[in-house]
Amino acid sequence: MDYAEKIGEVYSFHERRRHGRDWHDYHYRWTYHLPLRDGSAALNTHWFEVTVTRRSDGQVLFHNDWITDLFPQADNIVELVSVARSRWKTENENHNTLKTQGYHLEHNFGHGDHHLATFLLTLNLLAFLFHTVLQLLDESYQRIRLLLGARRCFFSHLRTLTTYFVFDSWQHLLDFMLEPFDSLPATNSS
């Protein structure tokens, strides 16, 4: 990166945006064909960054940089940064869900002789996938989640019921959970 700056191959773009009463300065920089690692066989990538500062006091409000195989230019750099930031946000939100909503991903599964950590992580990810698909497609699941609220509450009910009862199927379990709420109207959660 230093070499690219010295030879004038770091490009930049600046814009100012109003946020409430403040003005924010967005400074974008990018360059091309940076090797991902040392060595002649290294993959070349393109690099870009954004720094957002408050105009009134110069305080840096946000800074991040990314690498990509896309070609950053003045006419697409704002969109590239927007997409990169939203992807980062989505990844953080999903990781937060896996960490705090009953999936216990923060645990270090470093126990076992061979593949236990990978196996337990895979089970966590499958559970997350399963619940996401149910949230999108299963009306009974959508209704019980709406009625019970937070995932933690749902998991608490699930744990309690499966400790004391055996159900013939997933649908049987959901029907049992919905039984006390049968007099309530169904609500579409989308």
Chain-centroid distance of CA 149 in Å reads 21
Residues 70-99: pLDDT tens digits?
Answer: 999 999 999 999 998 887 766 666 667 777
Q: Order the strands of the 22-35 sheet from edge to edge.
A: 11-19, 22-35, 44-54, 60-68
pLDDT, position 2: 73
Distance set, CA 155 to CA 33, 152, 160, 164, 171 (Å):
49, 5, 9, 15, 16
pLDDT exceeds 60 at position 100: yes
Q: Between 32 and 90, whose confidence is greater? A: 32
* Residue (of 68, 62, 58, 60) closest to 30 by Cα position: 68
Q: Where along the chain do its domains lie?
A: 2-99, 116-181
pLDDT exceeds 80 at position 67: yes
33, 22 contact by CB (below 8 A): no
Residues 160-173: pLDDT tens digits?
Answer: 999 999 999 999 99
Q: Hey, CA dihedral for 73, 78, 79, 81, is it positive or negative?
A: positive
Give the amino acid at 5. E
* pTM of this prediction exceeds 0.95: no
Residue with tokens 């470093």: 110
Residues 127-150: pLDDT tens digits?
Answer: 889 988 999 999 999 999 999 988
pLDDT more than 70, % of the chain: 84
Q: Between 131 and 106, whose confidence is greater? A: 131
Residue with tokens 């009953």: 102
